[in-house]
Structure 1
Amino acid sequence: MGVDYYSILQLNRSATDADIKRHFRKLGLKFHPQKNPDDQEAADKFKQVAEAYDVLSDPRKRATYDQFGEEGLKNGVPPGSGHAGAWTQGYTFHGNCDKVFRDFFGGDNPFQEFYDRVDGDLSMGFGGLQGRGSKKQDPPIERDLYLSLEEVFHGCTKKMKISRRVMNEDGHTSSIRDKILTITVKKGWKPGTRITFPEEGDQGPNNVPADIVFIVKDKPHPSFRREGINLIHTAKVPLGKALTGWTVDIHTLDERILHIPINDIIKPGYKKVVPEEGMPISSNPSEKGDLIIEFDIVFPSALPPQGKNLIKAALLHQN
């Protein structure tokens, strides 16, 4: 009756390519000589599994085997058999089970350490590998999340599209797919806040996907910058108004207009603090920091003579 390659891989004849790969992966790992030292029965099964995979994973060999059986596969299909695309030469398994195993796993061979030899000896046995336990996780992938001050003031929802490598159902191949990650931005999040999506990085057969971490950063704002929970606004004030009084009009992040009277003389370095008009405190958004107004005093580029005399007269009492 001949060798039943499907039975060796614990499959039926309707098996898909993905089924063949999945079963070879499972049985190849189970009967690998490094896992079964000095076990001739396991070594024989490993060879059978490798040969079965070598045949069934090749469409032309599998087609010949399905129609003509082991005898037709190994003796060759005679001309005029009427089977288009069939294997026409006799097939002989090359016998290198290790090569089949390596070719299947490629650079991600879970037994790679078995082939890294030190002074002619294996650097680590199978037991040593199993002793190390689970797969290693890739380092975190960090991305900047730029938010406007309005978004942080009010809170918002951000949709972030990522592209990552995902393992296919066969457990061996992979493809690039997009995914949308949803970030619920809380009121008052400070720069440097980290939002972690566990294991959303590239997948692989022998790794734990990396965490993806978004790090909050402030977008530049035309009217404010923030320091901690406080908002800083710089107002330009003409010298005359700096000396005589002024009202600063400020459009807030929640679309109000504040009219802040300045009755003090505005000196270099002078600041006006408006309580509770800053950023929400993330732990208690009903509370806010302060609004701090800094001033940029604008000096005139020139003065007419009578203007100078008026200023001298007004400031004589300072001398």
Structure 2
Amino acid sequence: MRRVSKIAVACSVTAALAFTATACGDSSTEDTGSDKDQMKIGMAYDVGGRGDNSFNDSAARGLDKAKAEFDAETKELTAKSGETPADRETRLQSLAEGGFNPVIAVGFAYKGAVDKIAPKYPDVSFGLVDSVAEAKNVANIVFTEEQGSYLAGVAAALKSKDGQIGFIGGVDLPLIKKFAAGFQQGVVDTNPKAKVQIQYLSTGSDLSGFGSPDKGKAAAKGMLDKGVDVIFAAAGGSGAGSIEAVAGKPGAWSIGVDSDQAKDPALSKYAATILTSVVKNVDAGVYDLSKSVKDGKPLTGTQAYSLAKDGVSLTTTGDHLKDVQAKIDEAKQQIVDGTIKVKTTL
């Protein structure tokens, strides 16, 4: 399962187009030089952007696939911690004004900006990941995070030595609580005697919990010191800190999120202790929307990526789940057929 300096607010859209986004406090990756008929895809990342080893990187994989397949020009802008709603609006508007279509906003924090900007550009298709906007030209890309997290809970309960399990959430928001709820339910359904310690790194409108590996590491170390031996961190870039802390504790397991974190170059040295990752296939949503625009039939409304549709899943890198895979598969089938109803709130 994330902001730019106040200088960006003062940058008009015209200025944003005339100068680089970096000059207005935004980080930007741009592939230019296209002809006027070339597809142009704009991506507005959440905090951490490409290279966060998690949520944004999953979106980036979808963008890369679309770029290669459709020979598209792309532009990538990234939010900064502490930015204002106006900063997000400016970012989306600059992409729309620049002729990018679709314009994809990665993260629930963009909902207000999409609500305001999308209606002004009815001929542009917008994508919103992890939230729902009402404009007719928006595809809302959402996931059943709680279902993938339930399966992670099953795995954690079966792998934990004494049922002391931890969950670290980036921010105490409804989206992250879906991860926590599903995970806790999966743990307790599998081992009623197990206990899940839940901790959030920041609260409310403070979204720093998604981009602070030091906070993730400290929270994980605190849990490990109390006897927890499996920790699932749904905390964006902060999760890297948790994974590092777990790797330093013999016999402990970490569970990654959004991407297969055992395969990430920056985290691969910890792969031996990454039990699995709860993958949210944001890349599929990004690619599907891009393809629909390319085909002239833009997706709109809510596009739900569920466990049944492989929208969420558990990774098997390292074969750490081999001894418990049958029970995980059984739980998956029960969720798909409706026997198990997974909670979305604690």
Structure 2-normalised TM-score?
0.19
- Between 1 and 2, higher relative CO (CA 8 Å, sep ≥ 6) is seen in 2
In terms of fraction of residues, the more strand-rich structure is 1
More helix per residue: 2
Which has the greater radius of gyration? 1
